[in-house]
Structure 1
Amino acid sequence: MKSQPVSIRPYSRKPEENGPSENEGLIAFPPGGSPSDAQAILDSLEEGIVAIGLDKKILYMNRAAREILKTRDENPISSDCRKVVNSSECQARCVLAKTVETGEPIRNMEISLVDAFGRRRVLRLNTALLKDSSGKVFGGVEIFHDISQIVALKEELKGRYSFGRIIGRSEKMQEIFDLLPVIAQSKSTVLIEGESGTGKELVAHALHENSSRREGPFVKLNCAALSEGVLESELFGHVRGAFTGAVQSRPGRFELASGGTLFLDEIGEISSSMQVKLLRVLQEEEFERVGGTKTVKVDVRVIAATNRDLKQAMETGEFRKDLYYRLRVIPITLPPLRERQEDLPLLIQSFIDRYNAELGKNIQGLTSEAMKVLLNYHYPGNIRELQNIIEHAALLCNESRIDLRHLPGDLLPAQAQSTFLESAMLEANPVKYLEEELIKMAMAEYGGNVSEVARRLSMGRSTLWRRLKEMKLA
């Protein structure tokens, strides 16, 4: 026999019923059943259920909702929902009001609240509209469960597997995490070595933030991006008239970083003459501005970074031995991402959380197929490349999980790309589906620049705008 769906409709006590009823307001029951049947069904659920009218008065709360919210009111029916729920979203914008306005349910939103006993709780929330038999909306329902323990565990793991904004559970990263707090308290010069994209600047920033110099400035300079003359002026500053265009005196990065930390990236790219000048500052903590004669003293901790093999450069005479050993008082070598595969799930989730916040999305994770591709990829660009991949996928994904079709095409093996085309053939309009996916990919690649996307797809701007509106992307 086919089961009957549960109906939900507004309910009021009969005039002859005396005294308050905790069932007053909203009753859910199978056709032919009674309110007590519905109460038993709803009270058996672990999820909290709160029904709220358009006037923001509580219509109904089941047993789990009362326990999760720890309401002191024995009969919260007809109470103001903001007093009972008291969540972070109540202070910003009512989620039910948004559901009523848009007609769209909210799925898996995380909210925080303080219960009647002053304890902070984190809930995962879903919403839906409540309609009477004629289809008229008379309120909304919030369905939630308490994930406070899960969040607390994640925070504990985050503390165990992170230092600053650096994340990792691999043995190599754990060894680095053990050293960083000790290194942070020292003033000694640090040389961070590792391939491009391994997070050298993050390590430098974490050392600064966890040092006694945290209140001082953190100044950074990419040495490879500047010519020798410009680099000298950037590092040491210049006096007025030192060179053509020097219309006024200007402090350099060493002066700006005094009392704090100076991060010199791509240190292996500086010339031999600049190596001599830098060595003097590191040894004597003093220098003269370009074109000046006055000696400037500074108190700066220097953290340098390179993706070159400086030891080999030293042996070939490209890098001074004395500067190499002066910089390498404390060496830190960051492993490439391919050597810390066990860190991938943590890093992926971290980037998903970041882009959820930036893009206003609610991506929960990856499908098993997409995760398999990312776990088997070799990442020549290291963490920076992984971050770009997740950003690309997050822009394209409008679902709860990132799938193969959301990943950059060059990551997918030929078989996966074939599977993508086959999946397109399952759509009602395969050509339209492929066109929309191409538009999404191009929008992500060109940062939403409509002119560039139109040019890349050989499509008129007006046509592209029309497609974007149809796709609700404009």
Structure 2
Amino acid sequence: MSEGHYDFDDLPAGDGILILSSEQVILSATLQAERLLRTRLEPGQTVALGDIFPEPYLAQAELALKETLDSGVLRAQLLTQILLPAEKVRFLKYSVAPLYGQDQKIIGAVLAFHDDTLTKSWSDWSDFGLGVKPGAVFEHLDRGLFIVNQRRTITAFNRTAQEFTGFSPDEVVGRYCWEVFQADRCKTGCALKATLEDGVTRKDQDVRIKDKAGRWLNLLISTAPIRNQRAAIVGGVQTFQSLGLALPRREARFPIPGEVTVIGQSPPMKRLLAMLPDVARSEATVVLEGESGTGKDLFAQAIHLRSPRATGPFVAFSCSALVETLIESELFGHVKGAFTGAISNKVGRFEMAKGGTLFLDEIGELKLALQVKLLRVLESKVFERVGSSQPIPMEARIIAATSRNLVEEVRRGRFRMDLLYRLRTVPFYLPPLRDRQADIPLLVNHCLARLNRKYGKEVRGVDPKVMSLFQNYAWPGNIRELERVLEYAFVFVKGVVITKDLLPEMESPRPRPAATAHLHRQRWDSELLIIQKALHQARGNREAAARVLGISRSSLWRRMKAYDLL
């Protein structure tokens, strides 16, 4: 835009901007303009106004653009509409201003658009009054909307409101709004009641109402008065956007001392959360298994922070981060001169974690030679720095994590069976996000709160269509991917609700539930085969089989009982 200028400081932050040359070639267009107009606007493309403005708004737009290009007239407060899916509409206000070149000649025009749906609908009904049934605009709005008289009796209820709440117009018209919705603000702090009393418009307020099925819904509402020709208030209008089902008051979060919160109310997460306090209080080694991005590191911290070792250090180490020759030194430390480059003594992770917890992430990546050394440390409770024979007591609890199936790794000869059973006193399987549908609204709200703090915004929720997409998406990257998707939307969101057009591409198909169940079955069957093989090798002697597996006789007994081998 070096060849033209326009004062953009006067434009509202939410405006979509389209800049055209005098030949109607697109010079520039903002992403917000594409979203409002629901069309691609590529610079260099010649655009026909008929592609943007529908009848009967096209003639006015053509005249406004011609006047601006011919005489530099600024045209403001013009109206158009955009057709949305499901026969809904969005009203836009727009202005047309001249664009000047360096020689002060008009070389094009700047069109600024903003959403005016609520203002348009409210003014229409103010003209009608309450005695006339609202027309097509009312039914095709992309927001839920209802009208009340001064007594807060519902007189009209649009199609979108019916879709959100499950109530039909016949079920609500003639009834008090507070009687129908039982909102948490009906008795105190009702925005619609206040608007009827003082005539002040209120926007973007959070409320909870009950739908027809008795479920609590989170809504973002706005209210406005309806006046007659004498400017007296004769009723009110309330619009709302659904932010989805309200979160349960309980079982939503599992607070941990410190700054860790484990979130979940789905059946698999409830089972894990029920186990967590007992596991944390014990000194048992734990293996956290699950796909990448399921929150294994968070669970490890949660166990540590609820354990008697909570005041000690939590030391994390990724077994896949370094080459094998360096991992041993990082874990156990080394003395000066132990190898080339060892110019001083170095404390290893085992020493750093003294009195606390050592978290070994991606334990399945550890090479067999190091597995032997780790097993020896776990059994003897002592270790030596590389290059030293001085034993050092191991005074840390071990929590390991892996995204691999360790039982399958044992079968393939890539992981030691005795180390598996030494580590896996308590196995924790963290389910993938696709198996935690009930947790997705909780996780979304948790992420939104964090992102609001990070970006200084006030996003209240996601559109129901977005939530439906989230709950039917495969999430190959699990929680980590959910966080990335929401942060992407946060970069572009201008309002208080994240809509589908703000999301990045998400094309992964959702796997059949049977596929996930099959994976669990494989994990179960593989361990069963290993135990059966050990018992066969020991000719049925449980004590000998336990020695082969590297576990205690009581641990073997518990597993045999679980697999119905007794």
Please classify the TM superposition score into its range, dividing by the shorter chain length: 0.5 to 0.7
Residue 208, structure 1, aligned to residue 350, structure 2: no
Query: Deviation of residue 176 (structure 1)?
Result: 0.5
After superposition, where does 1:369-408 map in structure 2 within 5 Å? 369-408=465-504
Query: Deviation of residue 371 (structure 1)?
Result: 1.8
- Report the counterpart of residue 229 of structure 1 in structure 2: 325
Q: Which residue type is aligned with residue 323 of structure 2?
A: S
Query: Deviation of residue 366 (structure 1)?
Result: 1.0
Query: Deviation of residue 369 (structure 1)?
Result: 2.0
Query: Deviation of residue 411 (structure 1)?
Result: 4.5
1:221 is paired with a residue whose SS is: strand
Q: Which residue type is aligned with residue 487 of structure 2?
A: E
Which ranges of structure 2 fall in alignment gaps of 5 or more residues? Answer: 1-124, 128-185, 208-219, 223-245, 510-566
Relative distance call for 1:340 and 1:412 in structure 2 (3 A) is closer
Relative distance call for 1:400 and 1:219 in structure 2 (3 A) is same
Query: Is contact 2:290–2:429 with CA below 8 Å preserved after alignment?
Result: yes
Query: Deviation of residue 390 (structure 1)?
Result: 1.0
Query: Is contact 1:108–1:362 with CA below 8 Å preserved after alignment?
Result: no
- Report the counterpart of residue 441 of structure 2 in structure 1: 345
CA distance in 2, matches of 1:2, 1:317: 77
Relative distance call for 1:186 and 1:299 in structure 2 (3 A) is same
After superposition, where does 1:82-101 map in structure 2 within 5 Å? none
After superposition, where does 1:153-192 map in structure 2 within 5 Å? 156-159=250-253, 164-192=260-288
CA distance in 2, matches of 1:264, 1:343: 27
Relative distance call for 1:412 and 1:230 in structure 2 (3 A) is closer
CA distance in 2, matches of 1:365, 1:188: 40
Query: Deviation of residue 283 (structure 1)?
Result: 1.0
2:252 is paired with a residue whose SS is: helix
2:344 is paired with a residue whose SS is: coil
CA distance in 1, matches of 2:508, 2:368: 45
- Report the counterpart of residue 47 of structure 1 in structure 2: 189
CA distance in 1, matches of 2:474, 2:410: 30
Q: Which residue type is aligned with residue 346 of structure 2?
A: R
After superposition, where does 1:265-280 map in structure 2 within 5 Å? 265-280=361-376
Query: Deviation of residue 107 (structure 1)?
Result: 6.1
CA distance in 1, matches of 2:331, 2:508: 45
Query: Is contact 1:373–1:411 with CA below 8 Å preserved after alignment?
Result: no
CA deviation string 1:197-222 (max 9, x = no partner) = 11111110000000010000000000
CA distance in 1, matches of 2:494, 2:382: 56
Query: Deviation of residue 159 (structure 1)?
Result: 4.2
CA distance in 1, matches of 2:276, 2:187: 47
CA distance in 2, matches of 1:106, 1:368: 20
Relative distance call for 1:390 and 1:162 in structure 2 (3 A) is farther
Query: Deviation of residue 46 (structure 1)?
Result: 4.2
Query: Deviation of residue 156 (structure 1)?
Result: 4.0
Match for residue 454 of structure 2 among 358, 378, 385: 358
Q: Which residue type is aligned with residue 183 of structure 1?
A: V
Relative distance call for 1:316 and 1:181 in structure 2 (3 A) is same
CA distance in 2, matches of 1:160, 1:181: 11
CA distance in 1, matches of 2:187, 2:265: 37
CA distance in 2, matches of 1:186, 1:288: 26
Match for residue 403 of structure 2 among 307, 325, 328: 307
Match for residue 333 of structure 1 among 415, 421, 429: 429
CA deviation string 1:192-248 (max 9, x = no partner) = 111111111111000000001000000000001111111000000000111121111
Query: Is contact 1:355–1:391 with CA below 8 Å preserved after alignment?
Result: yes
TM-score normalized by structure 1? 0.55
- Report the counterpart of residue 83 of structure 1 in structure 2: none
Root-mean-square deviation over aligned CA pairs: 3.6
Match for residue 348 of structure 2 among 252, 262, 267: 252
Query: Deviation of residue 405 (structure 1)?
Result: 1.4
2:320 is paired with a residue whose SS is: helix
2:407 is paired with a residue whose SS is: helix
1:409 is paired with a residue whose SS is: coil
CA distance in 2, matches of 1:109, 1:263: 41
Query: Is contact 1:282–1:326 with CA below 8 Å preserved after alignment?
Result: yes
Aligned length: 290
Q: Which residue type is aligned with residue 400 of structure 1?
A: V
Seq. identity, %? 44
Residue 261, structure 1, aligned to residue 360, structure 2: no
Relative distance call for 1:156 and 1:375 in structure 2 (3 A) is closer
Query: Is contact 2:315–2:349 with CA below 8 Å preserved after alignment?
Result: yes
Residue 322, structure 1, aligned to residue 464, structure 2: no
2:358 is paired with a residue whose SS is: strand
Q: Which residue type is aligned with residue 47 of structure 1?
A: G
CA distance in 1, matches of 2:333, 2:203: 55
Q: Which residue type is aligned with residue 237 of structure 1?
A: G
Give the helix-richer structure, 1 or 2: 1
Query: Is contact 1:109–1:362 with CA below 8 Å preserved after alignment?
Result: no
CA distance in 2, matches of 1:349, 1:409: 21
Query: Is contact 2:332–2:349 with CA below 8 Å preserved after alignment?
Result: yes
CA deviation string 1:399-418 (max 9, x = no partner) = 110011110024499xxxxx
CA deviation string 1:72-102 (max 9, x = no partner) = xxxxxxxxxxxxxxxxxxxxxxxxxxxxxxx
Structure 1: 4+ residue segments shifted above 3 A: 44-49, 105-110, 153-164, 410-413
Q: Which residue type is aligned with residue 311 of structure 2?
A: E
CA distance in 2, matches of 1:327, 1:321: 10
Q: Which residue type is aligned with residue 317 of structure 1?
A: G
CA distance in 2, matches of 1:305, 1:160: 21
After superposition, where does 1:59-208 map in structure 2 within 5 Å? 156-159=250-253, 164-208=260-304
Query: Is contact 1:162–1:177 with CA below 8 Å preserved after alignment?
Result: no
Query: Is contact 2:473–2:508 with CA below 8 Å preserved after alignment?
Result: no
- Report the counterpart of residue 291 of structure 1 in structure 2: 387
CA distance in 1, matches of 2:345, 2:206: 54
Query: Deviation of residue 47 (structure 1)?
Result: 3.2
CA distance in 1, matches of 2:275, 2:388: 41
CA distance in 2, matches of 1:45, 1:329: 54
CA distance in 2, matches of 1:324, 1:280: 13
Query: Deviation of residue 48 (structure 1)?
Result: 8.8
**Larger displacement relative to structure 2 (390-399 or 224-233):** 390-399
Relative distance call for 1:405 and 1:294 in structure 2 (3 A) is same
CA distance in 1, matches of 2:289, 2:508: 31
Relative distance call for 1:216 and 1:2 in structure 2 (3 A) is closer
Which ranges of structure 1 fall in alignment gaps of 5 or more residues? Answer: 4-43, 50-60, 65-104, 111-123, 127-150, 414-474
